[in-house]
Structure formats: structure tokens, C-alpha cells
Amino acid sequence: MPNLEDIIKLVDRQNRWRRQECLNLIASESVMSPLAEKYYISDFHGRYNEHSGPERHYCGTIHSYEIEELCNQIFRERFETPFVDVRPISGAIANMVVYTAFARPGDIIVALGIPNGAHVSSTQWGIAGVRGLKSIDMFFDIENMNIDVENTVKLIDKVKPKIVMLGASVILFPEPVKEIRERIDPKIKIVYDASHVFGLIYGGVFQQPLEEGADLITSSTHKTFQGPQGGIVIGSKNLSGEEWQKVETAIFPGIMSNTHIHRFPALAITALEMNEFGKDYAKQVVKNAKVLAESLYEKGFDVLCPNLGFTESHQILVNVSKFGGGKPVSELLEESNIICNKIALPTDKPQDATRNPSGIRLGVQELTRWGMKEEEMRTIAELFKKVLVEEKNVKNEVIELKNRFNEVHYCFKLG
């Protein structure tokens, strides 16, 4: 039987290993600021706050409602829209909300498709499938790692989906939101799943999907936007009140009961920090991603899209098939405390895509959060070479490098 000491030791080991001793390049993760972490734990944890608009269904929730509204207000101002809801507890649940609001079982949605970078929630294997929706893959231009607008518009005209899902888990470049919006039936909802790039959008250095014609943004709040794990739905100011009401009803009573209200203070703090530091942070993220990509490329790694400057986001993709594929490569890097994940590239065969795909995906948002800049990106490319080409273990060098960056940046000071 495990005892208390086992549990505490495990948490201490995790804290030490992943925070102090690793270089984290998982593109979907980050760390909160110390101030956000401090206010993550409060009495809000463990309380309920079911409500339909301002009509509260529980007593004792005056401040819960206030803190939720305070979050909504910050995002409303940033995105210049009256329509924000922070109750979905994750990005995938935010997608479920829009599927519930704007489609019925049996309806079609058009989405990117897993090999081209879609999240599973927009496919038949994930939430779209669970909701009874038929998800059809759009056309993809592999060379440019982006949506093939011409053929996708033809597809949309033919299959008449209720929703077109844009945004992606693998996203190097802004997507053609405007081009698609201008060419499809205005009744079809365009939803931009910004989970990965929300911090870059918030910081103003990536595309602005609502301004480009998306009807809604769904997102996680904990990837490049470095808040607590959670979700958000933001509607364009051009939605009608009736349409937004469908979103609200899908959230409650549709999908949520307990909305994890303990995350709201941390979410609000992170958003205020992004108002203050988000532009500098997001600029540095993209700069770092480009430098890491260039440095790896110069060392002979097959980084995708050299002709397009590799990336405009926090991510870069490396084809590591010459080193045995994404699975052994990511595991070998993990032995040196460099943490990243294997990823399917659009050229992979379906049977390889989950087992041992050709790619690894690297995200620099957390390294940037720790204060690393261009020089450190070059050092990290050198560490990749040592591990994968020279077959060395560089754990000690990784720990030494990380130890120089133990303070979270782009945030308010604690206390």
C-alpha cells in the first residue's frame, strides 16, 4: 500500500525534474507565473457555480460569479466583443460546446484531419464523433504546410458543413481564415481552434481570427497562453444574441456542471500579465522558434519549411526519420532531459502516424517563459546534435543550462 511519504516524494521529484532539470519543448505546455500559482489554490476550489446568465442556481456563489465575470470582462475588452465564456474546462470541451451549439448529430463538419495537424477532438475518433458529427478532412498543401484553399472551398460548397474548424495542434503558419470566409456560404460557422496559438494571438503577433472572419474562437488557456489548464469560447461581435445564447445553453445546462472555478483567479492574473507583457513575450517566442529552427537546419537536421522561414508560431517540425523516427528520437532526448513529442507529418502513412511517425514537434514557449533567448536556442540546437548525431548523453549540460533560468518571466513580481 503506498503511503503518504510516497505521494509527497513523487510530487517533489516531478517538481524538481520537470521544473528545474529539464528543457521542456512540448508545444502544448507551460508554467504559470508565481502570482497566478499562488492564487490557483483558494476557497473557490471545491465550490460550485451553476448559473444561466446572472440567474444563479446555488447560494454562496456571489464571489464565484464575480471572479468569473472579471475573467470574461478582461477577454471581452481584449477581443472587443461582448461574447466570452470561460466556463469550459478545457480546449476540447470548448470544441464540444460549439459542436453542441451549432450542429446536430448527423451533420457534417469540415476539419483539418489528423495527418495535417488537427486535434483529435475535431475528428470522428474524438468529440466530433462522440457528438455524432461526420468530420470530413479538408485539403492540405503539404509543401506550404497550410490549407489548400481552392480545393477546400470546393469541398465546402459540395458537402455543405454546419461548421468549418480551423486552427490546429500542428500549426506553423497563420491559416487562410479570410480567404475561406470570403468564399463560403456566410451561414456556415467558422470556428478557429486557437488552443496552441492563443498566447500569440493575445500578444498580437499571430493572425487575429475574429478580425479575419471567424465566427468563434475556441481555445485552451494553458499552452502559449500560459494560464491555468482550462478552456474558453469567444464569439465574434457579429454573432447575434440568439446565436451566443446557443453557446451559453450548450455550456450550461448542456455540458458543464462544475466549471473548476478555482482556476479563474489565475486565469484573470495571467490575462492581466499578458496585457502588460504579452507582446514582448509573443515576439520573443516567435524569434526563438525561428532561431532554433535555423540552428538545427544549419546542423543538418531536416526542419520543415526552410523556404518559408520554418515557422511563424511557437512550433517547429523536424523530420527525424533518418534517426529512426519520432518515437526513438523523443525517447533518446528524454534520457538527456530534453522533453518533446513525436508527431505525424502529413507525408506519414496512417499505420506509422501513431506508432512511430517521422516527426518531432518542438515548442519554445516554455523556454521563452524561463527567459531564454536566441543564444540559448543555438546552444539547444548544439545539444540536439550531441544527442542525435554524436550519440552522447547531455543530461548534465541540460541541467546546468536550465539552472541558469529558474525565474518565470513576462509576469508580475510576487509580493
Which residues would be at the binding site for ligand PLP (CB under 6 A)?
28, 90-92, 119, 121, 167-169, 193, 195-196, 220, 231
- The CB-of-75 to ligand PLP minimum distance in angstroms stands at 16
- The CB-of-88 to ligand PLP minimum distance in angstroms stands at 9
The cell 450548450 sits on which residue? 250
Our CB check for ligand PLP shows the closer of 61 and 259 to be 259
Our CB check for ligand PLP shows the closer of 92 and 303 to be 92
**Given the DSSP bridges, would you call strands 359-363 and 315-319 parallel, antiparallel or unpaired?**
antiparallel
Nearest of 90, 88, 50 to residue 72 by alpha carbon: 88
- The CB-of-201 to ligand PLP minimum distance in angstroms stands at 13
- Cα dihedral sign, 337-338-342-347: negative
- The CB-of-209 to ligand PLP minimum distance in angstroms stands at 13
Calpha distance 228→248 (Å, rounded)? 22
Our CB check for ligand PLP shows the closer of 67 and 217 to be 217
Q: How far is CA 130 from the centre of its chain?
A: 21
- The CB-of-118 to ligand PLP minimum distance in angstroms stands at 7
Residues in the chain: 415
CB 25 within 8 A of CB 334: no
- The CB-of-117 to ligand PLP minimum distance in angstroms stands at 8
Our CB check for ligand PLP shows the closer of 61 and 341 to be 341
Our CB check for ligand PLP shows the closer of 49 and 224 to be 224
Side by side, the strands of the sheet bearing 341-343 are 302-303, 315-319, 359-363, 341-343
Our CB check for ligand PLP shows the closer of 27 and 184 to be 27
Contacting residues for 359 by C-beta, under 8 A, at least 6 apart? 304, 317, 318, 319, 320, 326, 342, 343, 344, 345, 348
Calpha distance 86→222 (Å, rounded)? 13
- The CB-of-90 to ligand PLP minimum distance in angstroms stands at 3
Calpha distance 365→169 (Å, rounded)? 14
- The CB-of-240 to ligand PLP minimum distance in angstroms stands at 26
Q: Give whole-number Cα distances, 110 to 97, 125, 407, in Å.
A: 16, 14, 42
- The CB-of-98 to ligand PLP minimum distance in angstroms stands at 12
Our CB check for ligand PLP shows the closer of 90 and 368 to be 90
- The residue sitting closest to ligand PLP, measured at its beta carbon, is 91
Q: How far apart are the first and last CA of the chain?
A: 41
Our CB check for ligand PLP shows the closer of 196 and 402 to be 196
Cell triple for residue 326?
519520432
Our CB check for ligand PLP shows the closer of 259 and 295 to be 259
**Given the DSSP bridges, would you call strands 216-220 and 189-193 parallel, antiparallel or unpaired?**
parallel
Our CB check for ligand PLP shows the closer of 167 and 326 to be 167
- The CB-of-92 to ligand PLP minimum distance in angstroms stands at 3
Continuous segment of H or E residues that includes residue 212: none
**Given the DSSP bridges, would you call strands 140-141 and 146-147 parallel, antiparallel or unpaired?**
antiparallel
